[in-house]
């Protein structure tokens, strides 16, 4: 009788274990991406976005090369639409720019520097120019870590922005306090005709802690980095639905056209447990990458500063943020003794030391995805770039219209997704050769 009671008590536990095992076994096998059917020659510095047109041509944003080009359907013939040369400088005056599908077969190129959006037709010709929705949001329209903007079924521009923390007044002692970080970001719907906007939803974002130290008139701001934040993400699907990817329990909620939200089931995932040594290794590797990036940016700045006498500042773009660093020279109002190269040479430039959260504050399981991982394909599915790799290629989870996992796809090594067409995906390829090329691959 005692044995019977123990068995019955164990049944709920066994049921939970069986359910968990069943969910894990429900994972589709990881498969390779379909056949690569076309490839361009490596003529670009980068491939940040690809816009597939109905006639088979593709428009490519070469964000590092500061140009927008068009390939024909064979990816063999390339035509420059805009670049930074004198003839088209006004059409690409920025180091960064965004590319997104517009009405029918037209495309918008967003230039945050001029705060304008150029309309490109199917022949690669620039037509009229529109202003960006809001000046403070221009940099959020370029795609990448902030998500990929687009237009919903009502023609409203959908994009993610940030909530800017309020500036706190100086305290009684005159010292400035850092504002509290904000851990959520709004998804905006903007009507270009009426210039009206509303907030469709909020997602959880990383909120690094900012620290400020003051020594007389000198202020130094440092940021405490968490290399594995658990955040949400978002994507606009081909039918105009907004997908909200939740990081805490890894599921996809759908914001429907009528304003309702459909909560999706948890997505099965092969979670990777992180030991204490794993967490230390993550911090160490992140530190090395960030230090290398900072050194590269600093070297670039030092090379550019001697021509500018006096003091000033320059913005460095890298990873998911921008950092403005100041510099000064002897003739510009102070500073240490000038470096070799003349009285107007840069004296020195220092970056604050990198600060990381304690390893104990990192999650016990590696997050399923990172910021900017989600994007919709041309067939109504959602692709999520996961934290998993197979043979050097990243693994994407493919989610259907019911927010269910239907496929897991491994990209070839050295590839990133730059855009989609019906049944195909466009890849940016950097394989060690000079330059970057575009490839068109079948999804299956």
pLDDT (tens digit per residue) in 124-149: 999 899 999 999 999 999 998 899 99
Q: Decide if 337 contacts 358 (C-beta within 8 A).
A: no
Work out the mean pLDDT of the chain and round it to a whole number. Answer: 82
- pLDDT higher than threshold 80 for residue 15: no
CA-wise closest residue to 382 among 367, 369, 391: 369
- pLDDT higher than threshold 50 for residue 3: no
**Beta pairing partners, 179:** none
Mean pLDDT confidence for 14-34: 64
pTM: 0.81
Instruction: Report how far residue 141's alpha carbon sits from residue 148's, in angstroms, rounded to the nearest whole number.
Output: 7
More confident residue, 29 or 174: 29
Q: Decide if 159 contacts 152 (C-beta within 8 A).
A: no
Q: Decide if 33 contacts 423 (C-beta within 8 A).
A: no
Compute the CA torsion angle 197, 201, 205, 208 (nearest 10 deg).
60
Mean pLDDT confidence for 240-262: 94
Instruction: State the pLDDT at residue 327.
Output: 36
Alpha-carbon 289 to chain mean position:
17
Instruction: State the pLDDT at residue 340.
Output: 38
Q: Decide if 399 contacts 382 (C-beta within 8 A).
A: yes
The pLDDT > 70 percentage for the chain reads 76
pLDDT band, very low/low/confident/very high, at 293 (cuts 50, 70, 90): confident
Q: Tell me the pLDDT tens digit for each residue of 295-332.
A: 887 776 665 433 333 333 333 333 333 333 333 333 33
pLDDT band, very low/low/confident/very high, at 181 (cuts 50, 70, 90): confident
Instruction: State the pLDDT at residue 296.
Output: 80
Q: Decide if 93 contacts 113 (C-beta within 8 A).
A: yes
């Amino acid at each position: 009788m005692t044995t019977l009671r123990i068995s019955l008590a164990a049944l709920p536990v066994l049921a939970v274990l069986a359910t968990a095992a069943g969910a894990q076994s429900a994972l589709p096998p990881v498969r390779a991406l379909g056949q690569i059917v076309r490839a361009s020659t490596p003529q670009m510095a980068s491939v940040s976005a690809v816009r597939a047109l109905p006639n088979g041509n593709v428009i490519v944003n070469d964000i590092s090369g500061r140009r927008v080009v068009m390939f024909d359907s064979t990816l063999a013939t390339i035509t420059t639409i805009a670049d930074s040369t004198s003839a088209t400088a006004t059409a690409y005056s920025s180091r960064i720019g965004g590319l997104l599908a517009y009405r029918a077969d037209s495309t918008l190129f967003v230039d945050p520097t001029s705060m304008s959006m150029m309309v490109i037709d199917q022949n690669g010709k620039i037509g009229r120019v529109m202003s960006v929705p809001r000046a403070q949001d221009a940099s959020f329209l370029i795609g990448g870590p902030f998500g990929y903007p687009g237009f919903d079924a009502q023609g409203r521009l959908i994009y993610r922005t940030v909530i800017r923390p309020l500036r706190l007044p100086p305290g009684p002692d005159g010292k400035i306090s850092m504002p509290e970080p904000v851990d959520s970001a709004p998804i905006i719907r903007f009507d270009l005709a009426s210039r009206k906007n509303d907030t469709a939803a909020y997602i959880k974002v990383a909120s690094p802690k900012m620290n400020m130290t003051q020594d007389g008139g000198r202020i130094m701001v440092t940021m405490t980095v968490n290399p594995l934040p658990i955040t949400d993400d978002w994507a606009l699907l081909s039918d105009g639905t907004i997908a909200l990817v939740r990081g805490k329990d890894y599921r996809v909620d759908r914001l429907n056209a009528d304003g309702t939200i459909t909560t999706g089931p948890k997505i099965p995932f092969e979670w990777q447990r992180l030991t204490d040594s794993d967490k230390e290794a993550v911090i160490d590797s992140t530190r090395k990458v960030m230090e290398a990036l900072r050194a590269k940016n600093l070297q670039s700045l030092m090379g550019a500063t001697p021509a500018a006498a006096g003091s000033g500042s320059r913005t460095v773009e890298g990873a998911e943020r921008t950092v403005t660093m100041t510099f000064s020279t002897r003739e510009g109002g102070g500073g240490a003794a000038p470096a070799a190269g003349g009285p107007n040479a840069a004296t020195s430039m220092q970056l604050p030391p990198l600060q990381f959260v304690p390893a104990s504050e990192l999650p016990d399981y590696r997050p399923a995805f990172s910021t900017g991982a989600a994007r919709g394909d041309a067939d109504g599915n959602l692709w999520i770039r996961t934290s998993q790799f197979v043979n050097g290629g990243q693994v994407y989870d493919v989610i259907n219209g019911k927010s269910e996992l239907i496929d897991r796809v491994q990209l070839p090594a050295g590839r990133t997704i730059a855009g989609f067409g019906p049944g195909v995906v466009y890849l940016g390829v950097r394989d060690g050769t000079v330059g970057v090329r575009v490839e068109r691959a079948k999804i299956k």
